[in-house]
């Protein structure tokens, strides 16, 4: 992180607002905006947060639902009441299997605000972002109940449209959204997907391709 980035970070209005209101990260306002607009988390939903550190999204999720909430990340987080946390790499098959067993049943909503380690080479960062988004979609396939919802952060680039097609093959409603709390310099967007119908949607997609 450069000195300039740190200075801008501390001047950032959403960063200051998060500090005042007790959120662990400015990203909390992205999820709040997404949920106001698309209602992807409801009162009794069971929700999974992938790449949840430092816990800003978990705080929002805990406010929105009284259902079970689960988080996973490589980094440790400060405990949150009502949240089951597993520390591990969700791209690892072993960790994914352990996490799925811990969740112990179908989930209503899977969200992911994961970002790759930024290299400064955009094509590489974009590809790594798509990889993480694909892993999030794989987890959604393993956990989502029929009719469930999915939110994932992705960096825009030449692989984005192909990834979007994968999501559209599984959900009846898919939107691309750029929250106001995202930094203007960021290429991130959020894919919002509702109503998970995997067998029906995948069948329709294959029939169109034939």
Cβ contacts of residue 167 below 8 Å, gap of 6+?
137, 150, 152, 174, 191, 193
Angle, CA 88 vertex, CA 82 and CA 89 arms, to 5°:
125
Q: Which residues are catalytic?
A: 153
Please classify residue 23 by burial: count the beta carbons closer than 10 Å to its beta carbon, then call 0-12 exposed, 13-18 middle and 19+ buried. buried
Q: Is 204 left (phi over 0), alpha (psi -120 to 50) or beta?
A: alpha
Q: How many CB atoms lie within 10 A of CB 124?
A: 12
**What does the alpha-carbon distance between residue 11 and residue 108 come to, in Å, rounded to a whole number?**
36
């Amino acid at each position: 992180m450069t000195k300039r980035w740190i200075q801008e970070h501390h001047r950032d209005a959403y960063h200051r607002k998060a500090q005042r209101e007790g959120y662990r990260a400015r990203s909390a306002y992205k999820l709040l905006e997404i949920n106001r607009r698309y209602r992807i988390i409801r009162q009794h939903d069971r929700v999974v947060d992938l790449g949840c550190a430092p816990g800003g999204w978990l705080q929002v999720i805990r406010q929105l639902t009284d259902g079970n909430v689960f988080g996973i990340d490589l980094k440790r987080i400060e405990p949150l009441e009502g949240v089951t946390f597993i520390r591990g790499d969700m791209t690892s098959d072993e960790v994914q299997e352990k996490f799925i067993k811990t969740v112990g049943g179908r989930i209503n909503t899977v969200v992911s605000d994961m970002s790759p380690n930024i290299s400064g080479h955009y094509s590489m960062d974009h590809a790594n972002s798509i990889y993480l988004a694909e892993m999030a979609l794989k987890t959604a396939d393993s956990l989502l109940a029929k009719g469930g919802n999915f939110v994932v952060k992705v960096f825009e680039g030449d692989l984005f449209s192909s990834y979007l097609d994968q999501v559209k093959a599984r959900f009846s409603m898919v939107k691309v959204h750029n929250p106001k709390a995202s930094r203007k310099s960021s290429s991130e967007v959020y894919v919002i997907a509702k109503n998970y119908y995997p067998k029906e949607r995948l069948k329709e997609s294959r029939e169109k391709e034939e």
